[in-house]
Amino acid sequence: MSIKQEEYSFYYKVKNESARKRLGFKAGFFWCTAKKQSLALSRGELAMDAAGFDEADFARPVRVHFPVENDIPPEGVFDTKFCENREPGGEDGKTLTLIPGAASAVKSDETERADGAGTPAGENGIQESHNPPANPQLTVVATLPFRHRVLAQYIGDGEYLYHVDASQKKEILRLEMDTDNSYVQNLLLAAENVEAFKKAIEHDIHKIVNAVKKVFPVDGKTPELATVIQFLKTWFETEHIDRGLLVKEWAKGNRVSAIQRTESGANAGGGNKTDRNPDYEHTLDTLDVEIAMATLPMDFNIYELPGSVYRRAKEIVKKKESPFKEW
């Protein structure tokens, strides 16, 4: 026996004023067809994540009656425009209604378009308006084509962009078409050749683009395409906790393929090409201390040696303790 599917629509209010200023909108909207509400809510969370938003920025979603509107967003898309002038209301508090003031503004605008009133006419009878729109037209980055999503985070200069305005979209298009900019073109080509990058959510795209800019400074030598691809693949294959270390190693010129760790999870010497400092003076005494340290049971970073470990190793050498004395 099949369970009847139902249309579920939800209103996601942005949690606080700080988040509203940062995001640039006050609420989100999502709807889908599902067998039960829990499934619909799960799909809403996935859609929110795919759009590049964080669930922590929103209050608990409120189920509202399915709107009867011509401009309702597509099914399965987390939308931030539909509720610009709507909020839950009505007798039951679950009907999306036009916000008082917004309704009259919409009606007035429709009337002016219909009868031609409200704006002065030019010499040819064409209406002219010298007032720019109050709010810029914003586009959610997650709805853009893949290349544009990459470039949106590229022009963010380290700031995560949820949306872009008209001027930013123009800059994105300019960069995409600028074939003389080898840095940008290599970044785009490399991104398209790494499957994990193409499947990445917006937050990861933001992180990897900024990682590339740290490893290969924009004002430095343009990296070869193969090198960028190698870094992208390595970054996505690296555990989240180790990606910062990976970026530091690559920025220093160490093209490591992984961050090595001990069984307990300690950093096993980072990504250094050698286990010796080029300035380190090698003597029989220092060799004894290193052997003594190797007999210690604890894990430690050999490149940031704790004083207690060094002192204990010297004590072992001095007293010729086992198992050091058997070496």
Distance CA 48, CA 76 (A): 10
Packed helices 202-215 and 243-251: angle between N→C axes, nearest 10 degrees: 30
pLDDT of the residue at 307: 80
Q: Write the CA distances from 279 to 12, 269, 275, 282, 290, integer angstroms.
A: 59, 17, 12, 9, 16
pLDDT of the residue at 159: 85
Please report, in tens digits, the pLDDT of each residue of the chain (327 residues total).
Answer: 456 778 899 999 999 998 898 899 999 999 998 888 988 999 999 889 888 898 889 999 999 987 766 678 888 899 998 888 888 887 778 888 887 765 444 444 444 444 544 444 444 444 444 454 445 678 888 888 999 999 999 998 888 888 888 899 999 999 999 999 999 999 999 999 999 999 998 889 999 999 999 999 998 889 999 999 999 999 999 988 888 889 999 999 888 888 776 555 555 555 554 455 555 566 777 778 878 888 887 777 776 777 888 888 888 888 888 777 776
Partners of residue 96 on adjacent β-strands: 88
pLDDT of the residue at 277: 56
pLDDT of the residue at 282: 64
Partners of residue 127 on adjacent β-strands: 121
Q: Are strands 6-13 and 27-34 parallel, antiparallel or unpaired?
A: antiparallel
The backbone torsions φ and ψ at residue 6, rounded to the nearest 5 degrees and listed phi first, read -135, 150
